Amino acid sequence: MNDHPIVEIEFAELSDGSLVEMIEDPADPAKSLLAVYRDQIVRYAEKLVDQGRTLVPLRRSDDGDRHIRFPQGAESYGQITDLLTRVASFFSACLDLEKEWWFAMAAIVLSTWLPEKLPVASYLAFVGPPGSGKTTAMRILNLLCYRSVLTADISSSAFYDISHRFRPTILIDETLTAGRPRELIHLLKASSTPGVVSLRKNKARLAYGPKIFSWLCLPDDPALNSRCLIVPMHKTSRTDLKAPNHPRVLEIAKKVRMQLLQYRFENYKNLSVPKTPPNVQLFGRPLDLYRALSLPFDKDADMCKFLGALVADQNKLQTCMLSPVQASAI
């Protein structure tokens, strides 16, 4: 008789060095499995025993939990440049944006798959008028980011609960129209730093993790804006763009999520924060943002140089928009 205590997990590092990740059962989306990675081999199990405990997937107990997107397994991805290009191709196929933004958003996607390793949470904000593709961009990212959940409204209690239990990437569309916008902006600022605990009703909650959101215009909050990679969106007359729910897009996205899980497994213990590229001046929050975006590319000098220049240019633009007092505070 197995009398080991049952422990629910969504991720764990076992005593033998194995990494265990909660995934969706390919045969039944309502069920979960554990993917176990060790020595470049992945196996799957409904439960496993480690150090006198029986580990099982964390229960998805309500409707909100069931909307979190999990991979259905792990699959080889080739080289990091192959995976980056594959992710960027979703944005080139579905959005009318300059090429630099395809790769910037792809960098965000990869960074979300290593939330425990980031110096700060990677934040991405889309800004543009109605009909400029913000929602389309959010739907694409919802197909690719680590444990993504896309919402148009979220309460503070739901925000803390789902973040603490599952550590998802939360995507909030039309952020300033969601619930109480001031409270939500406070939550976004408070949950960008690892290790910060919220104490509510005698419960400690961690809400740290990558976030993606959209605005009609930037909020009057320099502290939040400085935490974000901000992507300007514009309307397009192109008719050749694919919809995020196109069957081919969904089919490829399922495979890419599996490749991203393999990437997480292979790099979880091996990455180091890259140095700032030469001739790029970054300090404070922009430097933290660069480090979060560039972490997946610690051995790719060209990608680090591209991301460093992108963050530096955006920092200059934001600083020009601030008062001297705000700029010195940032």
Instruction: Work out the number of other CB atoms within 10 angstroms of the CB of residue 1.
Output: 2
| Banded pLDDT at 175 (limits 50, 70, 90) | low
- Exposure string (b/e) for 50-89, b if CB count within 10 Å is 16 or more? beeeebbbeebeeebbeebbbbbbbbebeebeebbebbbe
- The tokens of 216 are what? 């009609």
Contact 63, 283 (CB under 8 A): no
Q: At what angle do helices 99-112 and 134-144 cross, to 10 degrees?
A: 40
Q: Report the candidate in 42, 108, 70, 80 with the shortest Cα–Cα distance to residue 265.
A: 42
Contact 138, 150 (CB under 8 A): yes
Segment 147-169 shows an average pLDDT of 88
Helix (H) or strand (E) segment spanning residue 223: helix 222-225
Say how far apart CA 274 and CA 272 lie, in whole Å.
Answer: 6
Contact 156, 183 (CB under 8 A): yes
pLDDT at 321: 42
Q: Any long-range contacts for 251-255 (C-beta under 8 Å, 24+ apart)?
A: 252/90, 253/90, 253/143, 253/144, 254/72, 255/75
SS3 label, residue 35: strand
Segment 206-222 shows an average pLDDT of 89
One-letter amino acid of 164: H
- Give the single-character DSSP code of 58: P
Q: Report the candidate in 76, 136, 79, 144 with the shortest Cα–Cα distance to residue 111.
A: 144
pLDDT at 174: 76
From residue 141, alpha-carbon distances to 46, 311, 330 in Å are 28, 20, 28
From residue 196, alpha-carbon distances to 38, 110, 134, 150, 193 in Å are 31, 23, 30, 23, 6
SS3 label, residue 179: coil
Q: Report the candidate in 151, 133, 329 with the shortest Cα–Cα distance to residue 225.
A: 329
Q: At what angle do helices 80-94 and 134-144 cross, to 10 degrees?
A: 150
Q: What is the pLDDT of residues 254-274, one digit of tens each?
A: 999 999 999 999 999 999 989
The share of the chain scoring above pLDDT 70, in percent, equals 92
Q: Do the bridges between strand 203-206 and strand 211-215 make them parallel or antiparallel, or are there none, so unpaired?
A: unpaired
The share of the chain scoring above pLDDT 90, in percent, equals 68
What is the overall mean pLDDT for the chain? 89
pLDDT at 152: 84
Instruction: Work out the number of other CB atoms within 10 angstroms of the CB of residue 198.
Output: 18
Instruction: Work out the number of other CB atoms within 10 angstroms of the CB of residue 38.
Output: 14
Q: What is the pLDDT of residues 288-304, one digit of tens each?
A: 999 999 999 999 999 99
